[in-house]
């Protein structure tokens, strides 16, 4: 049984238990049994306070929440520059090997893969927001050149940046026409 399936199953069981306990609280309040309601509310609070899988991962050796925030902020602020793993590890004084293991445990990806994903997200946002050529978007997003952007984009997204841009800009235009009443569109033309 996969860990994802176990987590989803646990979430469903917790959800069912929470609903059952809430019903118990409601019935106790309706019967004016405040001690019974209080006890059920405590059980509900303890159920909801159980750590989820992400919190357990942090307890197993991932990065602490403040470390995660600091690294994520640092990466987002330095997307357009080359970032070395030892430079990241120095941000939260850890050895490179310990940092890489903790990073993967916390983010679910290697530092390089996570950085590429952030750069691709920035490139996608820029493609939709501007008419800049892909070569400029690639450089502004931290890729070496347009070929590097295209290779990573196709590997992660599954299509070329230009095809993705065309498709998403067309869909955005169609969606904006659907939201704009015909009279307003004619009045602007």
Polymer length of the chain:
189
Query: Above 70 in pLDDT, residue 88?
Result: yes
pLDDT at residue 182, rounded to an integer: 55
Tens of pLDDT, residue by residue over 128-145, are: 988 899 999 999 999 999
How buried is 177 (Cβ within 10 angstroms: 0-12 exposed, 13-18 middle, 19+ buried)?
A: exposed
Q: What is the CATH number of domain 114-179?
A: 1.10.10.60
Query: Above 90 in pLDDT, residue 11?
Result: no
As a whole number of angstroms, the longest Cα–Cα distance in the chain is 70
pLDDT at residue 1, rounded to an integer: 46
Instruction: Note whether 88 and 112 are within 8 A (CB).
Output: no
- Residue that is written with structure tokens 């869909």 in the block: 171
Query: Above 70 in pLDDT, residue 23?
Result: yes
Domain ranges of the chain: 3-50, 58-108, 114-179
Tens of pLDDT, residue by residue over 160-179, are: 999 999 888 877 666 655 66
Q: CB within 8 A of 53, min separation 6: which ones?
A: 3, 7
Tens of pLDDT, residue by residue over 100-137, are: 999 999 999 899 999 999 999 999 999 998 889 999 99
pLDDT at residue 51, rounded to an integer: 59
Mean pLDDT (the chain) is 80
pLDDT level of residue 8 (50, 70, 90 thresholds): low
pLDDT at residue 122, rounded to an integer: 92
Q: Provide mean pLDDT across the span 91-96.
A: 91
Q: CB within 8 A of 140, min separation 6: which ones?
A: 80, 122, 126, 132
């Amino acid at each position: 049984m996969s860990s994802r399936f176990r987590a989803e199953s646990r979430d469903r069981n917790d959800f069912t238990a929470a609903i059952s306990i809430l019903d118990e609280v409601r019935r106790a309040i309706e019967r004016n049994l405040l001690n019974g309601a209080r006890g059920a509310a405590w059980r509900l609070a303890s159920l909801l306070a159980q750590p989820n899988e992400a919190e357990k991962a942090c307890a197993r050796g991932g990065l602490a929440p403040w470390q995660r925030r600091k690294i994520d902020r640092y990466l987002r602020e330095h997307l357009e520059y080359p970032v070395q793993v030892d430079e990241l590890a120095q941000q939260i004084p850890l050895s490179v090997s310990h940092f890489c293991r903790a990073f993967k445990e916390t983010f679910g990806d290697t530092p390089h893969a996570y950085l590429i994903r952030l750069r691709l997200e920035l490139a996608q946002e820029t493609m939709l927001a501007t008419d800049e050529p892909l070569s400029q978007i690639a450089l502004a997003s931290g890729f070496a050149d347009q070929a590097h952007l295209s290779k990573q984009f196709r590997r992660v997204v599954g299509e070329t940046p230009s095809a993705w841009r065309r498709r998403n800009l067309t869909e955005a235009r169609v969606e904006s026409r659907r939201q704009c009443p015909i009279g307003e569109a004619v009045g602007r033309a």
